[in-house]
């Protein structure tokens, strides 16, 4: 009996196994093949054996006569049957199923004509066929009646060139340019502005498409539109309602002023500027308590179309128990922007005015002169910084000397108020002329090594009453004081800002809210159709 006719690795049905078990159990009952050699099983012996085996009880009751030879034989039978049954248990590996061979050649082409290939693979489907008589070539390809495109104004770009690049003929581009420049200064149009252009049908193939329509946002508060009418191009101005209520942000300082202000919605650079301004009045780390209230006002513009422009910090305030600790307002006075206190006193900073950005290489006092080799008084301060680095006026003043002066080389002397004067030596080049007034921070020359000098550096001196003094001993304290009419204007502006409610700039604009509700499609069903 072929017990493994289904091969290894395949399940066997329970019936199969049962049959096999029965098979082996009845082996003895089956007549042995007659082809066996007669020498072992002679006729008489064979009959005796057969009788003997058929008399044997192969499956005795294993519950009785435990330990007897019959019992052991029964045990052997049981073990053999169990072993056989276990050896027929299937394993749990996967069953290999039927797999079709991949298509190739003509069959693959046939199958491909049924499918949709991805674009990434070239959308290559079907069988290529030559054009038949049914295909007729076009004399010329049809053109779109109009082209809508968006042109973008680049940095340093001109409107006229943008239009020409978009395909507008040069005379029409110039015409549109003139119309627009009549309505708005072309320099006010921000780079990156998107211009919607519609080009119409061209009369002939060798001509440019005519400009049919052009629309863009020329300014924050102005939309411009050019339309083609019978008489030619016509410009329409469409003003946008803009509200410039400043954005006021108030809140409690808490554990961190920066974080609280940021959480209240103030932009990061505005908070930094606020800390800088408040820091000029008091120490941010020591004098501000967590229960104090900060008050930040930024210039702010919003259009009815939803865009906002967040400007610079214009007011920085700090309140403690309802009383103002600091009220600083940005104010333009005498052509210069400065921060003023509510009383009209300008911001003061008592720092050493540095005439250049380089480091101090030698201080005021007695020292051995590097060239003359004897001890003498160093009557100023030396600054490094490299050849050609700019030199700034330490404070406002008037040029009283600009030119060569002995060992100083190229030398500039400025006369300041309060009997003070400053001198700058060894310059490579002088940038001011005698008699001119200079402002604090204005470039008056460049570092060099003219005169008695071992290398490029700035020799800086400060004089009081004509005699040199230690420059570090004088702190230029700038205190601008507003007065008269300017002070009244300043206080008016301050009061106006303080009347602004926090969050007033975030309410909806009137016009924007009026048209906010769009008409729903379903509501049109009940209306009579336009004929
Ligand atoms: Zn020096």
Is residue 331 domain-shared with residue 368, that is, in the same domain?
no
Within a domain: 490: no
Ligand 1 mean position, distance from CA 358 (Å): 14
Q: Regarding predicted confidence, which is higher, 518 or 19? A: 518
**Distance (Å) from CA 430 to ligand 1 centroid:** 18
Overall residue count recorded for the chain in this entry: 531
pLDDT at 330: 86
45 CA to middle of ligand 1, Å?
138
Question: Which comes out higher in pLDDT, residue 413 or 453?
Answer: 413
Q: Which domain, by its residues, includes 402?
A: 360-473
pLDDT (0 to 100) of residue 526 = 57
Please tell me the distance between residue 503's alpha carbon and the centre of ligand 1 in angstroms.
57
Residues 384 and 465 in one domain: yes
Q: How far is the CA of 348 from the centre of ligand 1 (A)?
A: 29
Q: Distance from the CA of 476 to the center of ligand 1, in angstroms?
A: 21
435 belongs to a structural domain: yes
Structural domain total, the chain: 4
End-to-end CA distance of the chain: 95
Distance 378 CA to ligand 1 centre (A): 6
- Spatial CB neighbours of 92, under 8 Å, sequence gap ≥ 6: none
Q: How far is the CA of 390 from the centre of ligand 1 (A)?
A: 17
What pTM did the predictor assign? Answer: 0.47
Contact between 297 and 315 (Cβ < 8 Å): yes
165 with 192, same domain: the answer is yes
Query: Is residue 402 located within the same domain as residue 436?
Result: yes
Residues 184 and 288 in one domain: no
Distance 426 CA to ligand 1 centre (A): 9
CB atoms within 10 A of CB 272: 14
Query: Residues 57, 151: one domain?
Result: no
Give the Å distance between the CA of 368 and the centre of ligand 1.
11
Q: Are residues 259 and 329 in the same domain?
A: yes
**Residue at 20 is within a domain:** yes
- State phi, psi for 100 to the nearest 5 degrees: -75, 150
pLDDT (0 to 100) of residue 131: 79
Predicted confidence band at 309 (pLDDT cuts at 50, 70, 90)?
confident
Query: How many whole angstroms from 439 Cα to the centroid of ligand 1?
Result: 24
Q: In this structure, are 300 and 330 located in the same domain?
A: yes
CA of 457 to the centre of ligand 1 (A): 8
d(CA 340, CA 326) in angstroms, rounded, equals 10
458 and 375 share one domain? yes
Residue 320 has pLDDT above 80, yes or no: yes
> 452 C-alpha to center of ligand 1: Å?
9
**How far apart are alpha carbons 193 and 169 in whole angstroms?**
21
Three-state DSSP class for residue 126: coil
Contact 210, 196 (CB under 8 A): no
Q: Is residue 171 pLDDT above 60, yes or no?
A: yes
Q: Which pLDDT tens digit goes with each residue over 178-187?
A: 888 888 888 8
The reply to whether 97 falls in a domain is no
| pLDDT tens track for 345-383 | 766 555 556 788 888 888 888 777 666 667 777 888 899
Report yes or no on 305 lying in a domain: yes
Q: Based on the fold, state whether residues 192 and 218 are members of the same structural domain.
A: yes
Please tell me the distance between residue 356's alpha carbon and the centre of ligand 1 in angstroms: 14
Residue 21, domain member (yes or no): yes
Question: How far apart are the CA of 339 and the centre of ligand 1, in A?
Answer: 36
Rounded-to-integer distance, Cα 454 and Cα 199, Å: 70
For 248-279, how does the pLDDT look when each residue is reduced to its tens digit (9 = 90+)? 888 898 888 889 989 988 888 889 888 888 88
Q: How many CA atoms lie within 13 A of 512 on its CB side?
A: 14
pLDDT(188) > 60: yes
């Amino acid at each position: 009996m072929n017990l493994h006719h289904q091969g290894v690795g395949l399940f066997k049905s329970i019936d199969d196994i049962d049959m096999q078990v029965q098979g082996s159990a009845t082996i003895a009952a089956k007549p042995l093949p007659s082809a066996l050699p007669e020498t072992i099983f002679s006729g008489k012996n064979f009959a005796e054996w057969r009788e003997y085996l058929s008399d044997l009880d192969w499956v005795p009751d294993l519950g009785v006569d435990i330990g007897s030879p019959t019992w052991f034989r029964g045990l052997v039978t049981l073990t053999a049957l169990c072993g056989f049954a276990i050896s027929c248990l299937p394993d749990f590996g996967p069953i290999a199923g039927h797999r079709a061979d991949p298509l190739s050649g003509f069959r693959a082409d046939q199958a491909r004509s049924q499918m949709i290939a991805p674009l990434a693979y070239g959308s290559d489907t079907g069988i290529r066929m030559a054009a038949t008589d049914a295909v007729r070539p076009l004399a010329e390809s049809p053109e779109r009646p109009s082209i809508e495109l968006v042109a973008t104004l680049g940095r340093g770009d001109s409107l006229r060139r943008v239009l020409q690049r978009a395909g507008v003929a040069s005379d029409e581009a110039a015409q549109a340019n003139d119309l627009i420049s009549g309505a708005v200064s072309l320099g006010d149009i921000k780079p990156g502005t998107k211009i919607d252009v519609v080009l119409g049908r061209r009369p002939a193939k060798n001509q440019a498409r005519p400009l049919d329509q052009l629309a863009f946002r020329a300014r924050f508060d102005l939309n411009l539109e050019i339309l083609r009418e019978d008489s030619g191009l016509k410009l329409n101005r469409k003003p946008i309602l803009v509200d410039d209520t400043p954005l006021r942000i108030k809140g409690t300082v808490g554990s961190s002023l920066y974080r609280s202000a940021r959480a209240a919605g103030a932009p990061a650079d505005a908070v930094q500027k606020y800390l800088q301004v408040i820091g000029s009045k008091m120490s941010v780390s020591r004098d501000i308590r967590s229960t104090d209230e900060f008050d930040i006002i930024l210039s702010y513009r919003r259009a009815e179309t939803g865009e906002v422009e967040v400007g610079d910090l214009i007011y920085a305030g700090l309140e403690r128990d309802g009383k103002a600790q600091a009220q600083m307002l940005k104010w333009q006075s005498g052509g210069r922007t400065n921060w003023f206190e509510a009383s009209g006193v300008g911001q003061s900073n008592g720092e050493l005015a540095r005439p250049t950005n380089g480091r101090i290489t030698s201080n005021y006092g007695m020292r051995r002169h590097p060239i003359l080799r004897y001890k003498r008084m160093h009557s100023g301060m030396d600054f490094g910084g490299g050849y050609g680095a700019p030199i700034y006026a330490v404070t406002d003043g008037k040029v009283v000397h600009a030119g060569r002066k002995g060992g100083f080389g190229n030398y500039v002397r400025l006369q300041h108020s309060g009997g003070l004067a400053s001198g700058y030596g060894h310059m490579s080049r002088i940038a001011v002329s005698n008699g001119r007034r200079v402002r604090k921070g204005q470039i008056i020359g460049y570092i060099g090594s003219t005169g008695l000098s071992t290398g490029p550096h700035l020799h800086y001196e400060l004089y009081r009453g004509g005699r040199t003094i230690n420059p570090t001993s004088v702190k230029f304290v700038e205190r601008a004081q507003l007065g008269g009419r300017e002070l009244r204007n300043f206080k008016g502006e301050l009061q106006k800002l303080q009347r602004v409610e926090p969050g007033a700039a975030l309410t909806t604009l009137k016009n924007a809210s009026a048209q906010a509700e769009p008409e729903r499609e379903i509501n049109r069903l009940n209306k009579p159709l336009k004929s």
